[in-house]
Amino acid sequence: MQMNWPRKLLIGIPFLWLLALFLVPFLIILKISLSDPVLAIPPYSPRLDLSNGFEGIITFFSELDFENYIFLSEDSLYWKAYISSIKISAIATFFTLMIGFPLAYAMSNASENWRTPLLMLIILPFWTSFLIRIYSWMGILSNTGLINQLLLWMGVISEPIIILNTNTAVYIGIVYTYLPFMVLPIYATLDRLDGSLLEAAQDLGCTRFSAFWLVTLRLAKPGIAAGCFLVFIPVIGEFVIPSLLGGSRTLMIGKVLWDEFFANRDWPIASAVAVFLLLILLIPIVLFQRNEEKQREHER
């Protein structure tokens, strides 16, 4: 096919759009993370000054440095926030798997007529606002909330237990909102699973449990991995859940970045936090893509 102009336009328009609004902004973050904060608008220096020609470009580059990253590594707040984000995300992913797998398993065992409506019911919350779903837990978990009312009424506790604004509430919020991301890929692999394999295993002397362990779980592994990545990766940068359900002691990097930007107005530090967050996410993202490719090859 020759390069005619409709083809050029077809490729060019989305390409330039993404370059301008995805790649360039990212390069700008990188650049500002190497700048110094100043009290001005915009609050960072140096700014690229093209009126001085080539010399302006040289002074611009000579003023960039890694100061912000050194600051990040020296202030323990940031380290703690990164580590605590990873920890919260890992624990929450584990709980989501523990609830999501049985759910996906039960769905794949339901009769044909039931499967489509069940799938719809899992997907429906996707379409309702994330913010509203988090908000719905605030009324349930608060000191005067339904859980505390119920426990007080039953006489299990004599005074309200504090759940809202703790890490427990954050875990509940994450499991609740990210559950469909875990259930869907696991359900997809279980649904494809050939039932006769299980029968064969049982014919060959496996107990039901060991057949499940040796056949079902092993074949569902790519789906389990995909579900875990789909929860683990976005939760690390989560902002809404820790800021609504978490307390002052819940440390997550998405919230640190937000505060650094909106409250402290330190743009260079916020940019450095963002760049480093992306570096951390790079490893799970690469692993996730490899898992997906392997699965795609397997399907062929």
> Could you say which residues in the range 127-166 bind other proteins, by CB under 8 A?
127-133, 135-140, 142, 144-146, 149
Structure tokens at 242: 């820790």
Closest separation in Å from C-beta 158 to other proteins: 19
Site for other proteins in 8-27 (CB under 8 A): 10-11, 13-15, 17-19, 21-26
Closest separation in Å from C-beta 102 to other proteins: 5
CB 294 within 8 A of CB 225: no
Q: Which of 52, 79, 102, 213 binds other proteins (CB under 8 A)?
A: 102
The residue among 77, 16, 64 whose CA lies nearest residue 273 is: 77
Q: Can residue 264 be called a binding residue for other proteins (CB under 8 A)? A: no
The residue among 66, 58, 79 whose CA lies nearest residue 36 is: 66
Could you give the C-alpha distances from 187 to 98, 125, 285, in angstroms and in order?
Answer: 14, 17, 22
Whole-angstrom Cα Rg for the chain: 25
Closest separation in Å from C-beta 46 to other proteins: 12
Site for other proteins in 220-259 (CB under 8 A): 233-234, 236-240, 243-244, 254, 257-258
Q: Can residue 212 be called a binding residue for other proteins (CB under 8 A)? A: no
Q: Can residue 219 be called a binding residue for other proteins (CB under 8 A)? A: no
The gap from C-alpha 298 to its chain's centroid, in whole angstroms, comes to 26
Structure tokens at 209: 């449990």
Closest separation in Å from C-beta 246 to other proteins: 12
